Amino acid sequence: MIKVNVEINNRSWRKEIKNPKKYFSEKLKKINLKVSKLVKQQHRYFFKTTKRKKNKITFNILLTDSLNMKRLNKKFLRKCKSTDVLSFPNYYTGKLYIWSRKFAPENLYEPIDLMTEKSQGIFLGDIAIDYEIINSRCKGNNFHLEFDKVWIHGLLHLLGFDHKRNKDYFKMNRLEKRFLNLVC
């Protein structure tokens, strides 16, 4: 089961997405099996070491504005400009941390032993999305379609996909289109 914690720090988002929790629960139901399968493929070692029957997969989304995106981009990627989406995976060199507590900023990235039976699932990481860029891209047509493209792109980054090489770009693009067809 995939769960998302949504944090809105710009009021403009409420105009387009009235109930973010409901919005994402409906979308994630449609791609649950595909994402679970990708997590297992990308991080096989974890599933070999655990005996859990159900693994919760969780990630956070921050819905923000251009000013905050610029700050995040400068702080973490050393780029002094805003961008549509930033992804912050919760793993280093292929190792996932396990989400052990309810969502709270102070214990968000606390690593725990993979073998523990008390963990509640896998925490993939964080995604930040810029309202102004999404809104300007859709040009009044379909805000939700553009938004879905962006958060799916961010989710694929959390799952370990990248687009630095052409081969990786085409693979990630194919997955984005597949997920987008499922959620729309």
List the chain domain ranges. Answer: 2-183
As to burial, measured by CB atoms within 10 angstroms (0-12 exposed, 13-18 middle, 19+ buried), residue 160 is middle
User: What pLDDT score was predicted for residue 129?
Assistant: 94
d(CA 101, CA 119): 8
Q: CATH for 2-183, among 3.10.180.10, 3.40.390.30, 3.20.20.140, 3.40.140.10?
A: 3.40.390.30
User: What pLDDT score was predicted for residue 111?
Assistant: 46
User: What pLDDT score was predicted for residue 54?
Assistant: 57
State the 10-residue block means of pLDDT for the chain, 184 residues long.
Answer: 87 90 89 76 52 69 92 88 89 47 45 43 87 87 91 89 86 88 85
Closest listed residue to residue 175, CA positions, set 27, 4, 37, 22? 37
